[in-house]
A and B are shown apart, each in its own frame.
Chain A
Amino acid sequence: MIGETLELLFSVPFWVAVLRIATPLILGTLGVLLCERAGVLNLGIEGIMVAGAFTGWLTVYQGGGLWAGVAVAAGTGAALGLLHGFLTVTLSLSQHVSGLGLTLFATSVASYAYRVSFPKVDSPPTIEPFADMAWLPLPVLNAQTPLTLLALALVPLIGYLLYRTPAGLAVRTVGENPAAAEGQGIDVAAVRIASVAAGSALMGVAGAFLTLAAFNAFYFNMVNGRGWVCVALVVFASWRPGKALLGALLFGVFDALQLRLQQSGGSLFGVDVAYQFYLMLPYVLSIAALVVMARRAAYPQALMKPYRKGER
């Protein structure tokens, strides 16, 4: 058992699976991170991922290119993000409720639009998804799609933007101390809304990865809680891009492990275990990660606190 597991950890197919599982989580977690760094909780992520998965896929199905699909998914995410920004920043509505409402809204509209476009289909229509980058001379990466490369490249890029540029400083200040940001002449509302829109665009791309790379069709329940997992991973990552990558990869490792155990007959240390038990593990793990990191969690100080000029 232990020996097998170790052998598995050094095998290429295993890490290919890990990176494949981690890619939407990297994108989604970075998206949540951008929103929360600016002080806005975005529980719309689950619905935004569904909407991105659908619009991205539909674009390609209608004859658009794969990258056009990614762009449309990002645009869909940004548009929904603007809505969330308007509701939570401009109108300072409850971020919890608005986010959940957004998830319900985006999910239901995407499902409705899918059914209107394809009223009676037995098997979901498919597209030709992103191909693996076989030309890449790197062992695990050459079995991934370009979207994985994009996700990996975004980690240092967002880290650089947040910590090394004036715009990033503005985002962080707005999320920590909006009054101080205001004093610096920063338009708090504008920075927050822009951050939410940008973060939501990433969530849209995270969804599109599912339909354009991981699978080749749109299914109703395909996001299946991945968005919520991202919200948990951000806490685990203490709102840092590098640690977000680490968290997503760690999650990928455990998810790939449970998949492997499930396939190998489902017995654990000689005891027969139902497949549902393995499927539970990723969610249990996310909760465990939250609990372990809870004491050290350095929440952005102004997270979930609406800001109004001149009010304390």
Chain B
Amino acid sequence: MHIERRAEVSRVAQLAAPFGAIAFTLLASSLLVAWAGAPVGQAYALLIEGGFGTLFAWSETLTRAIPLILTGLAATVAFKARLFNIGAEGQLYAGALAAVAVGGLHGGSGFALTPWLLFPLMMLAAALAGALLLLGPALLKSRLGVDEVVTTLLLNFIVLLFVSMMLDGVMKDPTAMGWPQSVVLQDGLQLERLIPRTRLHTGLLWALVLAVLLWALFKHTTTGFEIRAVGANARAAAFAGMPVGWVTVKVALLSGALAGLAGAIEVAGRAGYVTLDMSPGYGYTGIVIAMLAALHPLGVVAAAVFVAGILVGADSMSRAVNVPTYIADVIVSVSLLAMLVATMLAQYRLRWR
């Protein structure tokens, strides 16, 4: 069995591929739902209702989509240049910690600056923390040829332990009754509500603006062209006179910064402090989102909303019909694999001999 490039790639097949993948995913997951003893149709109806059915559902879904758009963009930039940054989870936490370090109330008082100045500084610190965290693996890759996948993966564990250390130590909230959580942000640094009486905050606008900016970067700038060229064929790019090492560094800084911002925006828009469970794997899910979006920045927004809706919907569905919430993770991971296969089969045909 092998694959063979199709002589003509049909437009219809390419457009149908994502829908085929989603249909396959829902079918495969319905087997698991049925195994849990729940009525499949009702479970899916509840899932869609819970994720997209009401204004409140939409507000929850979009709130959940904010960090996912940002980590999805982080993965998109990096993967486009074939820098496999699997460390967005760690970079997110680094950004969140940096945000609280700059904008938090330490011992009752923080930096005495107006929010107008402190807010940009806080965001800058978060972006920088994420960027620097990825710079190490990127340099190790371009200088010494150390595989960045393993280093970024291992750094996730190190960062999480470091955050835990900080939450037990210098950044501990003394009023938190022993819960490991950080000090809170100063007043005026938290993001405004977008819709009153929901959790949806202005971080959504940040995420959308960054998605458009990234799209413009890829589409209209030399840097964007270089990133795509290095990703397509690093040797050819070097031969054409592009500074491949420098492009990799730029990509790393950009990707890490986006993940770091995801952490800061999540802190400033949601709780106002850092906890060890503030991200249920947003960094890893961001990779799935980037792949679902075929590494297109605007597609990332759509994919993030889709995945967020499934996560939110699965939460409310599982409470109603007793299906474990892990079904959301199953749906997301199966949709990733199915999407990879579907896009492949749109361009190639499977031959049996």
Q: Write the residues of chain A forming the contact surface with B, with a CB cutoff of 8 angstroms.
A: 43, 87, 90-94, 96-98, 100-102, 104-105, 107-109, 111-112, 115-116, 119, 189, 224-225, 228-229, 231-232, 235, 274, 276-277, 279-280, 283-284, 286-287, 290-291, 294-295, 297, 308-309
Contact = CB atoms under 8 A, between A and B. Distances in A.
A98 B340 contact: yes
Contact of B154 (A97, A235, A287): A287
A267 B337 CA distance: 47
B330 A308 contact: no
A274 B169 contact: yes
14 contacts: A90-B350, A96-B149, A97-B340, A98-B340, A109-B330, A111-B324, A112-B327, A116-B324, A189-B2, A225-B154, A232-B150, A276-B165, A287-B151, A308-B3
B330 A87 contact: no
A297 B145 contact: yes
Given A92-B3, A115-B326, A283-B158, A108 B333 contact: yes
The 5 A-B residue pairs with the shortest CB-CB distance, nearest first, are A108-B329, A115-B324, A104-B333, A112-B326, A276-B165
B13 interface: no
A178 to B, nearest CB: 13
Contacts of B77: none
Contacts of A309: 2
Contacts of B145: 294, 297
Contacts of B291: 97, 101
Given A101-B291, A109-B32, 17 more contacts: A91-B3, A97-B287, A97-B291, A100-B86, A101-B340, A104-B333, A108-B330, A112-B324, A112-B326, A115-B326, A116-B35, A116-B36, A189-B2, A283-B161, A290-B146, A294-B144, A309-B2
Given A287-B154, A290-B150, A107 B84 contact: no
Interface in B279-336: 284, 287-288, 291, 322, 324, 326-327, 329-330, 332-334, 336
Contact of B344 (A91, A111, A112, A228): A91
A97 B324 CA distance: 26
Contacts of B56: none
A73 to B, nearest CB: 20
B154 A228 contact: yes
Could you say which of A116, A119, A286 has the most chain B C-beta atoms within 10 Å of its C-beta?
A116
A106 to B, nearest CB: 8
A231 B150 contact: yes
Contact of A105 (B153, B324, B337): B337
Contacts of A280: 157-158, 161-162
Interface string B46-85: 0000000000000000000000000000000000000010
B226 to A, nearest CB: 21
B146 A291 contact: yes
A31 to B, nearest CB: 15
A171 B214 CA distance: 43
Interface in B85-136: 86
A50 B333 CA distance: 15
Contacts of B1: 90, 189
Contacts of B341: 87, 91, 93
A111 B3 contact: no
Contact of A101 (B36, B146, B164, B333): B333
Given A115-B326, A280-B161, A101 B336 contact: yes
A94 B291 CA distance: 11
A118 to B, nearest CB: 10
B158 A284 contact: yes
Contacts of B326: 108, 111-112, 115
A239 to B, nearest CB: 13
B165 A274 contact: yes
A109 B322 CA distance: 16
A104 B284 contact: yes
B213 to A, nearest CB: 25
A290 B152 CA distance: 12
A224 B160 CA distance: 12
A98 B84 CA distance: 13
Contacts of A90: 1-3, 350
B192 interface: no
Contacts of B330: 105, 108-109, 112
A116 B38 CA distance: 11
Nearest to B318: A115
A290 B2 contact: no
A98 B288 CA distance: 10
A119 B322 CA distance: 9
B279 to A, nearest CB: 15
A96 B84 CA distance: 8
A290 B333 contact: no
B155 A287 contact: yes
A293 to B, nearest CB: 9
Nearest to A93: B340
Contact of A279 (B144, B147, B161, B324): B161
B81 to A, nearest CB: 13
B327 A235 contact: no
